[in-house]
Chain A
Amino acid sequence: MASPDISSLKRDAAPPEPHVVPVRTYVIVFAALLSLAGLTTAVAFVNLGRFNTPIALAIAFVKMMLVLLVFMHLLYSTKLVRVVLFAGFFWLALLVGLVLIDYHSRSWIPDPAPWSSSAPPTHP
């Protein structure tokens, strides 16, 4: 068995310095999160008909992205982490989507006649 190529090992390199996000960024994101929380509460007191829920969910989505990208360092993370997270959301979309399709398409096909109303099976 060939010995591994050790020239590529970073054995002399000093440990990498972590990516430090400036305090300013955290404060700005925090302020944005608080304002969005206030906004979503305020919007609930205004009658926008069918648009209330989509707007609330859109605001929640923006808040989630802010937390994910900055607080959870997704902006600076490896691609592998992003793929793993995307897979999670993809599976969640499958779960919710397929279950909703099931529940809302059940009425499309009329119920078959119950067993009791048909003629009893005859045996030879």
Chain B
Amino acid sequence: MRNRRPALSEAYAPVSPVKEQMAHLLAHQFEDLEQQHETDTLGIWVFLVTEIMFFGGMFAAYTIYRSLYPVAFEAGSRALNVRLGAINTMVLLSSSFTMAMAVRSAQTARRKALTLFLVLTMLLGVLFLGIKGIEYHGEYFDRVVPSLNFAPQGEVLQRFTTGGLGRAELFMCFYFFMTGLHALHMIIGLSLLLVVLLRARCGVFSSQYYAPVEVMGLYWHFVDIIWIFLFPLLYLVGGRY
């Protein structure tokens, strides 16, 4: 480290006492905390754009097969539990709200509120996954899980055969892959939330340095947006009238 070029932040050493206190928060490649914050935020947005394309492939495939086999997709959609789906939508929207409040608490340096809202967000996230698990469980016993247990009975079978049994099975594949990928993102988000929570407990964040909380929030809201589209596309296609 002897021959390291001094970073700009060191060359123009902090003069104001406020800046001196903040110096340890500033990575040496950045000019000031504002630039560092903008870079952090832009970084997560670029990542979210790659996520748009990642989920976009599935949404594109869904769009094509839905336009090719509309009847089968409607039949498949009606095999899903719309009540649990709607409750889960509300749960996830609530977790987005508590996450937004957590970011706000970090901005205003309210440490207790930050911990509280992070814990609430995690609880709502776990509740979402729990309800999702109950749904998967129910679908397994309705025997509409492709390849694991696909042998629909009675009314479901009747509905499925109107649009083609194989095509309804295709819809169920889309359902499990899309919600499964979404659930995977929730699990990753919950693990990251745990890290942010532990750091918050150590008092790392302040109104000058809260980028990790904000980045976490952006990721969480993105996962929420994915569900905002998955819910109507998967649960409401068939109509319930």
Contacts and interface: CB of A to CB of B under 8 A. Distances in A.
Interface of A: 6, 9-18, 20-21, 23, 26-27, 29-30, 33-34, 37-38, 40-41, 43-47, 52-53, 56-57, 59-60, 63-64, 67-68, 70-73, 77-78, 80-81, 84-85, 87-89, 91-92, 95-96, 99-100, 103-104
B240 A37 contact: no
Contact of B93 (A33, A41, A56, A100): A33
A43 to B, nearest CB: 8
A60 B229 contact: yes
A47 B236 CA distance: 12
Q: Pick from A38, A52, A100 the residue with the most CB of B within 10 Å.
A: A52
Contacts of A13: 16, 32
A13 to B, nearest CB: 8
Contacts of A10: 32
A50 to B, nearest CB: 10
B198 interface: no
Nearest to A84: B45
Q: Do most interface residues of chain A lie in helix, strand or loop, or is the interface mixed?
A: helix
A81 B46 CA distance: 8
A116 to B, nearest CB: 28
Interface residues of B, number: 64
A60 B56 contact: no
B101 A26 contact: yes
Interface of B: 8, 12, 14-16, 18-19, 22, 31-34, 38, 41-42, 45-46, 48-49, 52-53, 56-57, 59-60, 63-64, 67-68, 82, 86, 89-90, 93-94, 96-97, 99-101, 104, 107-108, 207-208, 210, 214, 217-218, 221-222, 224-225, 228-229, 231-233, 235-237, 239-241
B218 to A, nearest CB: 6
B31 to A, nearest CB: 7
Contacts of A103: 64, 67-68
Q: Pick from A14, A17, A91 the residue with the most CB of B within 10 Å.
A: A14
Contacts of B228: 60, 63-64, 67
B221 A71 contact: yes
Contact of B38 (A64, A67, A78, A96): A78
A41 B47 CA distance: 31
